[in-house]
Amino acid sequence: MSDYLIATASTSDLPRTWLDEHHVPFISYSYTVGDKSFEDDCREESREAVYAGMRKGDLLKTSMIGEFAYVEFFRGLMESGKDVVFLDMSQKMSSSYGNSLLAAEQVRGEFPSQELYVMDTRCISGGLGTLVLEMVRRKEAGMGFREVIDWGEENKLKVVHRFTVDDLNYLKAGGRVSNAAALMGTMLNIKPVLYVPDIGTLEVVRKVRGRKASLRAIRDGILSDLSKIDATGVEIHILHVDCRADAEFVRDELLRAYPQLGRVTVSNLGVVIGAHCGPGLIAVFYLCGGRNPE
């Protein structure tokens, strides 16, 4: 096995079991529920408990990761004597990215004979997780440090992100939609379909009326992508916030259309992204030919 580390953040929304099994270190974002503070531990039981609370009215606040926390994290990794690749959310989605760059510059000075590479992934949530998973898979197959970085840079914009939310009030709280738009959308049962373009932001690309229409829009976008490639063996990761039945609907529709797909997983989304989008979020991620919101 190649002797370097691939590390990430809890916002990759990968299961803790997978992170532990593949020896992928991660730095935790934090969140508060009421007056209690928690670290995102990537555990399924934590996600389920948080979402059950949100259904009952709990309000979550999340915090960026400070420069000092990154310094401590990076220093601990470099003390292993190995080179490090670190992948976090798109710099357009989190001010933490700037803190990670400052921290990396400091830590590089302490370990001049080692390399610490911080990638601007242009991915978020399970899209980041997909990129991490694919790079770790190649590392475990023997790909070298520079090779895996090159592969990541060449393919990160091929990781597709498709989202829909059920409650516009969470997007309103995060500044993604205005108060007026949230109120009107709620009254008219409007559901946004969101996408991550190449720049790494989160954009509303379509508005449809009703939950089923939003799920069909997600499905149709994926099917359009798959129609342009050989879909045999393509893995698709569906993450949800307390709406497993809807996630399984999307999964079943995709497998009905393309039974030759590879793994199609369904799991809970991580707490930090979930806090900003709320219960009812469906997010689908996969490696494809490129990003096209249509």
pLDDT tens-digit map of 242-280: 999 999 999 999 999 999 999 999 999 999 988 877 889
Q: What is the reported pLDDT for 1?
A: 45
Phi, psi of 40 (to 5 degrees): -70, 110
Q: Measured between alpha carbons, how far is 263 from 255 in angstroms, rounded to an integer? A: 10
Please report the beta strands in 53-156, taking only residues with DSSP state E, as ranges in sequence order. 60-63, 83-88, 116-120
Kindly state the tokens that stand for 211: 């939950």
Kindly state the tokens that stand for 224: 């359009």
SS3 label, residue 38: strand
pLDDT tens-digit map of 200-253: 988 888 889 999 999 999 999 999 999 999 999 999 999 999 999 999 999 999
Beta pairing, strands 83-88 & 116-120: parallel
- Tokens 């039981």 — which residue? 45
Q: What is the reported pLDDT for 286?
A: 98
The domains of the chain, with CATH numbers, are 4-156 (3.40.50.10170), 158-287 (3.30.1180.10)
How would you write the pLDDT of the chain (294 residues) with one tens digit per residue?
Answer: 468 999 999 999 999 999 999 999 999 999 999 889 999 999 999 999 999 998 888 888 888 999 999 999 999 999 999 999 999 999 888 889 999 999 999 999 999 999 999 999 999 999 999 999 999 999 999 999 999 999 999 999 999 999 998 765 655 455 544 443 443 445 447 788 999 999 998 888 888 999 999 999 999 999 999 999 999 999 999 999 999 999 999 999 999 999 999 999 999 999 998 887 788 999 999 999 999 887
Q: What is the reported pLDDT for 181?
A: 43
